[in-house]
Structure 1
Amino acid sequence: MASQSHAAQVANYVGSQACMGCHQASAHDFGATMMGNILIKHPRDDIEKRGCESCHGPGSLYVPAMAKAMGEGKKPDEAMRGPPAEPSLTTFRPDSGESAKQTNAPCLMCHERGDQAFWRASTHAFRGVKCVDCHEIMRPSSDFQLAAQFRANPIIYTRPQTQVCIRCHLDKANQINMPSHMPLREGLMVCTDCHNPHGGPYQYQLVQPTVNQVCYFCHAEKRGPFLWIHPPVLQNCDNCHDPHGSTNQFLLKVSAPRLCQQCHVAMRHPGSPGAAGSVFVFGHSCTNCHANIHGSNSPGGLYFTR
């Protein structure tokens, strides 16, 4: 009956000052963050003016319950569990038992526009990823913010962005350490150059409608238009390339000439097995001659030769 009466109580907002008795150190760190600067120093609306309670929820049930429990000799971790304290606040603690939906709800009050507009339909949301799995809100931003977009619009992570992603995407962690790889580990690229982790209308949560459009952002010389077009290239860059990493040169899925022979299977070409008049021709890369393989405007362009 006691727990039912507690659950029936409605929590009210009491102000951030009530939090300072126990959380002064956390508040000091939070004040140095981007969010802290807004909520503490420059609140823009009624939600932000609630300070700590903007995200954690109203504290009128939690504060006296915590004070009473600690007065009985309980440690803070023990005191914050059980009614009426536990149901009245969102703690964001990994061991809190709070669902992803419950933990993410305070974030989505402000962060559900722009790049975050597709979050509720994203792969990460469906798999129960929490905002705090990737973002650290209570600590000042650190030296991980190497990419230009994070310097311009800093998102508060506790580690370099790529390291955040590969904690779950272990297969990609292996690939970016292969001999041929995107410059992620060197800090010259980040995962969000190609993917929107908050979701989107495109496959693989890409930032552009197609794989090719993502690639063309950096590799504009491959876009064309060309007089002579190589259809697999026009269709999809990942027909030939693995963008996350490969043991083959140029991020190729298979080494040349075997990559080309996956389509050109009936070619009686000097480089094909059994057709070469010289052992020095056999097995060499097709691009030794067909150099303009992405497309060509040259007179010999039909065969993409030099």
Structure 2
Amino acid sequence: MRRLLAVLACLGSFCAGAAYAADEPKEAPKDIVLTGDAKCTTCHDENDSPEALAIGKTRHGTVADKRTPGCTKCHGDSERHVKEAGRGGGEAPPVDVGFNTKNPASAEARNAACLNCHQGSTRIFWQNSTHSRRDVTCASCHKIHDGHDKVREAKTQPEVCATCHKEQRAQFARPSHHPVPEGAMSCSSCHNVHGDNPSQLAKPSVNETCYSCHMEKRGPFVHNHQPVAEDCAICHNPHGTNVANLLKSRPPYLCQECHSHDSHPSQLAGLPTGATTSTSLLGTVGRGCLNCHTNIHGGNSTVNSATAGRFRR
């Protein structure tokens, strides 16, 4: 009888404790990085998804900024993803918006999540850009959760661009090139990758983009060289060439693409046999048009002569 009473007493104590524990409110999960991220970080914590928590080291992790989005702002509420995660031994269904490599949403839907905040400024025409029309997503170039976004640094940006633009990567390896491999410039120095003009340039035209640095070539000149005024890329390849000054080919071959031999008859390379001022012989020396025509981008000579407009010094 004493044993029975002892067992009943223990059982009563256990039931009372269980009832008290059931009535005690559960502690709400706490946010780890972003405001309101507890819904996601309950599963995606430092053990299972440390790369996701690295967003705290980026601008998207600045909790003091009221504009900072939470997880659901970009990924959607994803109620089904939360409710069915881990059930049946299978993978959780995809989140609503995307940024999921296993179950990605459409490129348009993924970009829409970013454009909710980043639509203005240089990205205002993103939908009409070449990148957008070819289903390139923001996450194709940007690492949203990574504290080191390579595309935002001059030295590492070309690595990201060269993933697709392999021809330009090869051109930058040529002897004459803009200092992009050296880190003094980046692709975005000339290009607005979110823009809508044909080459996604930082300025409305090729010339305006070049004039951002090469102001001395802008003019206006008394005597304008028409190819220069039309398009710098007629003579230059900005990514790199095997000829000095980024020229597509060396003079006189480059110049003779437009200029016939009327003023300078066709000549074989060679040296004059004696002292002479004849252009039919001097044109062979060095085979360089710029030996005489030094102001090839435009001349300001006001001398009243037939040769004043020939871009000589």
Give the TM-score normalised by the residue count of structure 2. 0.76
Question: Residue 176 of structure 2 corresponds to which residue in structure 1?
Answer: 180
SS at match of 1:254: coil
CA distance in 1, matches of 2:53, 2:191: 34
Question: Residue 288 of structure 2 corresponds to which residue in structure 1?
Answer: 285
Deviations 1:157-177 (A, max 9, x none): xx8111111111111111111
Q: CA RMSD in A?
A: 2.5
The one-letter code sitting in structure 2 at the alignment partner of 1:79 is: E
Q: Do 2:150 and 2:157's aligned partners in 1 also have CA atoms closer than 8 Å?
A: no
CA distance in 2, matches of 1:123, 1:104: 14
CA distance in 1, matches of 2:167, 2:111: 27
1:111 Cα shift? 1.2
User: Within 5 Å, which residues of 2 pair with 1:1-306?
Assistant: 15-24=36-45, 25-37=50-62, 40-44=63-67, 48=68, 51-67=70-86, 69=87, 72=88, 74=89, 78-80=90-92, 85-86=93-94, 88-141=95-148, 145-147=152-154, 160-200=156-196, 202-269=197-264, 272-274=266-268, 278=272, 282=284, 284-298=287-301, 299=303, 301-306=308-313
Deviations 1:232-259 (A, max 9, x none): 1111111111111111111111111111
Q: Do 1:181 and 1:245's aligned partners in 2 also have CA atoms closer than 8 Å?
A: yes
Q: Do 2:298 and 2:311's aligned partners in 1 also have CA atoms closer than 8 Å?
A: yes
Deviations 1:233-288 (A, max 9, x none): 11111111111111111111111111111111133527x42597728852521001
1:208 Cα shift? 1.4
Call closer, same or farther: CA 1:274–1:125 in 2, change over 3 Å.
same
1:295 Cα shift? 0.7
Deviations 1:194-251 (A, max 9, x none): 1111123x33121212211111110001111211111111111111111111111111
Call closer, same or farther: CA 1:146–1:56 in 2, change over 3 Å.
closer
Structure 2 gap ranges (5+): 1-34, 274-281
Q: Do 1:144 and 1:160's aligned partners in 2 also have CA atoms closer than 8 Å?
A: yes
In our comparison, the structure showing a higher alpha carbon Rg is: 2
The one-letter code sitting in structure 1 at the alignment partner of 2:44 is: H
CA distance in 2, matches of 1:213, 1:301: 27
SS at match of 1:205: coil
Percent sequence identity is 40
SS at match of 2:117: coil
The one-letter code sitting in structure 2 at the alignment partner of 1:285 is: G
Call closer, same or farther: CA 1:107–1:170 in 2, change over 3 Å.
same
Q: Do 1:59 and 1:89's aligned partners in 2 also have CA atoms closer than 8 Å?
A: yes
CA distance in 2, matches of 1:205, 1:244: 15
CA distance in 2, matches of 1:304, 1:256: 15
CA distance in 2, matches of 1:139, 1:289: 55
Q: Do 1:269 and 1:275's aligned partners in 2 also have CA atoms closer than 8 Å?
A: no
Call closer, same or farther: CA 1:213–1:185 in 2, change over 3 Å.
same
Q: Do 2:241 and 2:247's aligned partners in 1 also have CA atoms closer than 8 Å?
A: yes
SS at match of 1:66: coil
| Deviates most, 234-243 or 275-284 | 275-284
CA distance in 2, matches of 1:96, 1:278: 74
Q: Do 1:180 and 1:250's aligned partners in 2 also have CA atoms closer than 8 Å?
A: yes
Runs of 4+ in 1 over 6 A off after TM superposition: none
Deviations 1:107-153 (A, max 9, x none): 11111111111111111111010110000010112677544xxxxxx
Call closer, same or farther: CA 1:203–1:255 in 2, change over 3 Å.
same
CA distance in 2, matches of 1:146, 1:89: 31
1:27 Cα shift? 4.9
